[in-house]
Amino acid sequence: MNSSKNKSAADYKAEMTKRINLSAFAGVFILFVNFITGVILIKYFSEISYTVYMLFLFLNTCLSMLPFLILYHVKCEKIGKLITMPREKRCGFPKWVMAVMLGFGLCTTVNFLTSLISAGIFNVETGTAINKYITDIPSLCMAVLVVGIVPAVCEELLFRGCIIGSLKKYNVLMSVVISSVIFALIHSGISGMIFAFLSGMILGFVRIYTGYFSAAVAVHFMNNALAISTAAAGSLISEDADSMVFYTAGIIGIVLTLVCIILILLRKIRLDCIFSENTLHSAQPVEDVVSSSSMLLVFVLCAILTDM
């Protein structure tokens, strides 16, 4: 009896470790592809058309995510199963809308505060690289597609779909944290990483709370669309319009964040789904996760590439 229990625990740990390693290697691969893309853009394509630049970004997003989406599909579970939850764990449409709006508000608040801190304390201006390219409505529409919709779908498929979907059966909170850490490490700059980690936690909660992968996609797209709208306002309306959009969105985000806090305090929003365990096994110790060779490799590569 004890030997079968030990074998079950060992199989459990081995399978979970395999999935954590696969998640970490996905982060390493994406980090490497983004680094190479940046080098190529700076060295060979400093003067390219907006259409070519958008095509380059589109291919970079798809090619950096696609190998691991296929790998998860083959090695872990079918992608359809990873991005869906049992019907009884899915919320109704009103709760879906509420979670998306509050999730967007939380992400906007985090973006607003990290941008203010970056500009005020570290004197680092934040913004998207496409600011200079948005000069008319067609360029704006192309930016919404390539920078708004494609990353929202592809990144959510990998991080909140495959990674959380693959690990939540072992420990829900751990799956959200790991996906957020790797999501943060593929972003550049300290403020970008902090924002990506916090927004990743929010997106993970929205995905688990609603039971719908589509909710996280919606919040991610709305957040990307806000960044594009801010850039477009500065280019298409006036130089001061981007600041007006930025501060207006920040105030709205703070209001929605306060609403979210009140609803949590009133127990209208319950966090049980994040802190509960989904299996009979105890939660995997944090040191076992951190000691994973591939997780350490992500941190090392991130540190090296950030300094280059």
Residue 214, Cβ density class (10 Å: 0-12 exposed, 13-18 middle, ≥19 buried): middle
pLDDT tens column, 67-112: 889 988 888 888 988 888 888 888 899 999 999 999 999 999 999 9
Q: Residue 129: which of 36, 218, 41 has the closest Cα?
A: 41
Structural domain contains residue 282: yes
Structural domain contains residue 4: no
Contact 162, 216 (CB under 8 A): no
Structural domain contains residue 9: no
Structural domain contains residue 217: yes
Residue written as token pair 């939660």? 283
What is the pLDDT, as a whole number, of residue 195? 92
CA 33 – CA 38 distance, rounded (Å)? 9
Q: Is 84 helix (H, G, I), strand (E, B) or coil?
A: strand
Q: Residue 196: which of 168, 160, 144 has the closest Cα?
A: 160
CA 50 – CA 188 distance, rounded (Å)? 22
Structural domain contains residue 5: no
Q: Rounded to whole angstroms, what are the CA distances from 61 to 67, 163, 186, 263?
A: 11, 17, 12, 36
Angle subtended at Cα 220 by Cα 174 and Cα 193, rounded to the nearest 5 degrees: 60
CA 129 – CA 120 distance, rounded (Å)? 20
Q: Is 212 helix (H, G, I), strand (E, B) or coil?
A: strand
What is the pLDDT, as a whole number, of residue 248? 92
Q: Which residue numbers in the chain have pLDDT < 70? A: 1-7, 44-46, 120-132, 275-308
Structural domain contains residue 3: no
Residue 230, Cβ density class (10 Å: 0-12 exposed, 13-18 middle, ≥19 buried): buried
Which distant-in-sequence residues (6+ apart) come within 8 Å of 291 by Cβ? Answer: none
Q: Residue 213: which of 258, 265, 159 has the closest Cα?
A: 159
What is the pLDDT, as a whole number, of residue 288? 52
Structural domain contains residue 7: no
Structural domain contains residue 49: yes
Q: Residue 12: which of 209, 204, 277, 273 has the closest Cα?
A: 277
Is the full-model pTM beyond 0.95? no
Number of separate domains in the chain: 1
The domain in which residue 66 lies consists of 14-307
